[in-house]
Amino acid sequence: MELSLTTRTVAEHTVLEVGGEVDVYTAPRLRERLIELVDAGARDVVVDLERVDFLDSTGLGVLVGALKRLRTAHGTFGLVCAKEPLLKIFRITALDQVFPIFPTVDAATERDGSGPTS
Amino acid sequence: MATVRLSFSPAPVHVRTARLVGVAVARRAGVAEELLDEVRLAIGEACTRAVTLHRQYGLTDLVTMEMSDSDSYTVRVIDHAPIEASVGLAKLPPDELAAENLTDDALTTGVGFALLAGFVDDLQVRPVDDGPGTEVRMVWPVTRR
């Protein structure tokens, strides 16, 4: 399935909904979109992975790049993911200790202090 | 022994084709359904690694993937990059993953290797017998029907 990228605003967060396959072929498009968002002023960014069918190391590298970019810009970055196969990828790579990962967009965009951290 | 061989130019778009073929042959070979997601990911990582190396070294040689289903399902992904490119494959500790001084390439390589090692119980990375290059060999059990 082709990569799909849709942006919306939820509770003052920029939510990028990603669908399809994120791999060595499509990851550059995800990287470009994330850079565009930050360059356009987005500082609280959430990437929703619920419609992602496949995610490889290249896609993970793009997500880490976005995390670092937002950290530099004093922003926040979080992921939404409740799919066990994807969560297993984050655990195996230890990236579950790097990204704030939330089960829902609502949880990721809460402003009570439990939301994404940089 | 049934063997399927796929060779492709080192273009990212072909990695998806390799994954599709690798999983189709795995299913036909009798790899358990619950392992197929891991087979797909591991084959993708091995092929991504090979394609990335060929592009880094400006090589136009084809990347080769061989699948055989004798007593188990064995996939070999063969690149032709200088052997020193394989040195330094290691899983990165969590505190280094988002370090500012870690390059994107180093991060992707480390994460890719962590995924290969995490999803493939029987994994070997070794030099090819002839000329420069590395073979990533992955084996999964099959259930005969």
Query: Which is it for strands A13-22 and A44-55: parallel, antiparallel or unpaired?
Result: parallel
The domain total for chain B is 1
pLDDT of residue B108: 86
Express the helix, strand and coil content of chain B in percent, nearest 5 each.
45, 25, 30
Taking 60 as the threshold, does the pLDDT of residue B6 lie above it?
A: yes
Q: Is the separation of the CB atoms in B116 and B46 below 8 Å?
A: yes
Range of the domain at B117: 3-141
Give the gap in angstroms from C-alpha A113 to the nearest C-alpha of chain B.
22
User: Which amino acid, residue A23?
Assistant: D
State the DSSP code for B90: -
Kindly tell me if the per-residue pLDDT of B145 is higher than 60.
no
Chain A contact for B121 (CB, 8 A cutoff): no
**Span B73-106, pLDDT tens digits:** 999 999 999 876 555 556 677 777 878 788 877 8
Q: Which of A22, A23, A98 to mutate to test the interface with B (most CBs of B within 10 A)?
A: A23
* Mutation choice for A interface testing from B104, B111, B113 by most A CBs within 10 A: B111
Rounded to a whole number of angstroms, the distance from the CA of B1 to the nearest CA of chain A is 31
Name which of A89, A100, A91 is nearest A66 in CA terms.
A100
For the CA atoms of B41, B44, B46, B50, what is the dihedral angle to 10 degrees?
A: -160
Query: Does residue B127 contact residue B135 with C-beta atoms inside 8 Å?
Result: yes
Tell me how far apart the alpha carbons of residues A113 and A102 are, in angstroms, rounded to a whole number: 13
Return the SS3 of B110: helix
Domains in chain A, please, with CATH?
Answer: 4-108 (3.30.750.24)
**Which residue among A25, A68, A98 sits closest to B13, beta carbon to beta carbon?**
A25
CB contact burial A53-77 (16+ within 10 A = b; e otherwise): ebbbbbbbbbbbbbbbbbeebebbb
pLDDT digits (tens, 9 = 90+) for B11-56: 999 999 999 999 999 999 999 999 999 999 999 999 999 999 999 9
Q: Min CA distance, B100 vs chain A (Å)?
A: 7
Nearest to A57 among B16, B40, B112 (CB): B112
Of chain A, the end-to-end C-alpha distance in Å amounts to 31
Substitution target from B115, B119, B121, B136 for chain A, most A beta carbons within 10 A: B115
What Å distances lie between residue B140 and A55, B17, B49, B75, CA to CA? 21, 20, 20, 9
CATH number at residue B72: 3.30.565.10
Other Cβ atoms less than 10 A from the Cβ of B29: the count is: 22
**Interchain CB distance below 8 Å, B15 and A23:** yes
| Comparison of pLDDT for A34 and B144, the residue scoring more | A34
ipTM of the complex in this document: 0.89
